[in-house]
Amino acid sequence: MNHSITAEELLDELKTMPFTERGRFFSILGEQYFQNDDFSHQQVFGHLINDEFSSKDAAEYLEISIATFRRYVQKGKLNPSNVYGRSQMFATRDLKQFKRALRV
């Protein structure tokens, strides 16, 4: 039997993928289906603007080790946007800004 997946189900599945695999997925999707389209960054990634990353995904996004990431948090260079029990979540916009600062 063929099971089709809804857009919401696909989005939930994408959220469980490691950050690098999500990047690969969107690269493949773009290459195969949107080659001749000219989408802005906002159109493609705008839905993530209010999203949050776990510590592991945030470290992966910043391209640093989890140990280095934790040191930045301990020193107050990065602050969680939410804390759920022992889990810290980090706002997308804060990580994006921090990543830019790391490149300078």
Domain ranges of the chain: 1-47, 49-104
H or E element, residue 54: strand 52-54
**CB 61, CB 21: distance < 8 Å:** no
Q: At which residue do the structure tokens 């599945």 appear?
A: 13
Give me the pLDDT at residue 70, please: 96
Angle, CA of 65, 14 and 95, to the nearest 5°: 40
Predicted pLDDT of residue 48: 62
Average pLDDT of every residue of the chain: 84
Pick the CATH number of 49-104 from 1.10.1760.20, 1.20.140.10, 1.10.1660.10, 1.10.3470.10: 1.10.1660.10
Residue 103 in 3-state DSSP? helix
The answer, as to whether pTM is greater than 0.85, is no
Rounded Cα distance between 3 and 80, Å, is 38
Q: Is the pLDDT of residue 40 over 90?
A: no
Residue 102 has pLDDT above 90, yes or no: no
